[in-house]
C-alpha cells in the first residue's frame, strides 16, 4: 500500500504541478473543487491507518477519537466533491455513474461507521471503518489501474464500479478469513435424559405445580372419595 501510494504520488499527482502540463488548464478550471477534494482526501488517506493501531487506541483513546473525527469529516467533504467534478465538467454519463457509485459508496460506508460508533457498537464500527478505508485506498488502486490500463471515459466508469465492488468483496472476505479457514469443533451429542425422569416414581419426586389465585395456593382438586 505504501509503495502504491508513492507510485501514484510520483507518476500521477506531482506531474500535475508542471506548469507546462497539457492538463493544467483543465485543472485550473476546476481548482475550486479540486483543491478541497485533494486536501480532504489526503487527510483521510494519511489519518486512516493510524486508526487501526490497537496500541494507539488503548494508550491514547482521545487521540483516536480526534483523528477519527478528522477522518470522517474529510471523507464527508471529499466524496461529494469527487462526485461533483465530472458532473460540472459534463463528462460521459458512464464516467459520471462510475464516479458516483465509487464516491457514494465511500460516503455511505464512512457515515455508517460514524453512526455505529456514536451508538457504542464498537465491533461493528471497526468492520465499517475497515470497509471505509478500503474504499479510501481504492482511489489509489484506480489511479494505478488507469496508469497501466488507460481507458476511455465510458469504459473507465464501468471499471470504476467493478473495482469498488471488488474492494468491498475482498474486504469482507478478509474480515471473515478465520471463519473461512478454521473448522469448528463438532457439536456435542445429545445426552440421554436422567433416569429419574423415566422412573415410575417421577411424579412423587416432582409434584404437580400449584396454581396461586388471590394469594392462596390451590392444590389438586379433591374428589368425594378422598
Q: Which residues is 212 bridged to in the sheet?
A: 217
Would you state the pLDDT for residue 7? 81
User: What is the three-class DSSP state of 217?
Assistant: strand
**Residue numbers in the chain where pLDDT is lower than 70:** 186-226
Would you state the pLDDT for residue 134? 93
With residue 182 as reference, give the H or E element that holds it: none
How far is the C-alpha of 5 from the C-alpha of 10, rounded, in Å?
Answer: 9
Would you state the pLDDT for residue 127? 93
The label of the residue with cell 489519518 reads 47
Judge contact between 101 and 161, C-beta under 8 A: yes
**Cell output for 15:** 506531474
pTM of the model: 0.74
**Cell output for 134:** 478500503
Would you state the pLDDT for residue 12? 72
How far is the C-alpha of 125 from the C-alpha of 113, rounded, in Å?
Answer: 5
List pLDDT tens digits, range 164-188. 999 999 999 999 888 888 887 766 6
Q: Which residues is 217 bridged to in the sheet?
A: 212
**Cell output for 197:** 425422569
Q: How far are the Cα atoms of 42, 110, 174, 213 from residue 134, in angstroms, in the given order?
A: 14, 11, 11, 63
C-alpha of 56 from chain center: 20
Would you state the pLDDT for residue 181? 86
Would you state the pLDDT for residue 96? 93
- List the one residue out of 163, 60, 74 whose CA is nearest residue 110: 74
How far is the C-alpha of 165 from the C-alpha of 146, rounded, in Å?
Answer: 17
Would you state the pLDDT for residue 204? 53
List pLDDT tens digits, range 18-38. 777 777 777 777 888 888 998
Would you state the pLDDT for residue 13? 73
Would you state the pLDDT for residue 226? 47
Q: Which long-range contacts (CB under 8 A, 24 or more apart) does 66-70 make?
A: 68/117, 70/43
Amino acid at each position: 500500500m505504501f509503495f502504491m501510494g508513492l507510485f501514484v504520488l510520483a507518476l500521477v499527482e506531482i506531474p500535475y504541478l508542471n506548469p507546462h502540463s497539457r492538463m493544467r488548464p483543465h485543472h485550473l478550471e476546476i481548482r475550486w473543487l479540486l483543491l478541497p477534494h485533494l486536501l480532504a482526501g489526503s487527510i483521510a488517506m494519511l489519518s486512516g491507518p493510524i486508526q487501526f493501531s490497537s496500541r494507539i487506541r488503548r494508550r491514547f483513546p482521545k487521540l483516536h477519537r480526534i483523528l477519527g473525527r478528522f477522518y470522517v469529516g474529510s471523507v464527508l467533504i471529499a466524496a461529494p466533491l469527487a462526485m461533483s467534478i465530472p458532473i460540472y465538467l459534463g463528462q460521459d454519463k458512464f464516467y459520471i455513474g462510475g464516479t458516483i457509485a465509487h464516491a457514494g459508496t465511500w460516503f455511505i460506508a464512512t457515515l455508517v461507521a460514524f453512526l455505529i460508533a456514536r451508538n457504542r457498537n464498537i465491533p461493528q464500527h471497526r468492520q465499517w471503518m475497515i470497509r471505509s478505508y478500503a474504499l479510501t485506498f481504492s482511489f489509489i488502486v484506480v489511479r494505478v489501474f488507469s496508469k497501466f490500463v488507460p481507458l476511455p471515459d465510458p469504459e473507465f466508469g464501468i471499471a470504476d464500479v467493478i473495482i469498488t465492488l471488488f474492494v468491498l468483496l475482498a474486504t469482507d472476505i478478509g474480515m471473515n478469513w478465520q471463519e473461512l479457514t478454521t473448522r469448528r469443533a463438532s457439536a456435542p451429542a445429545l445426552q440421554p435424559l436422567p433416569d429419574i425422569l423415566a422412573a415410575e416414581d417421577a411424579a412423587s419426586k416432582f409434584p404437580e405445580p400449584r396454581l396461586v389465585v388471590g394469594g392462596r395456593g390451590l392444590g389438586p382438586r379433591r374428589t368425594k372419595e378422598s
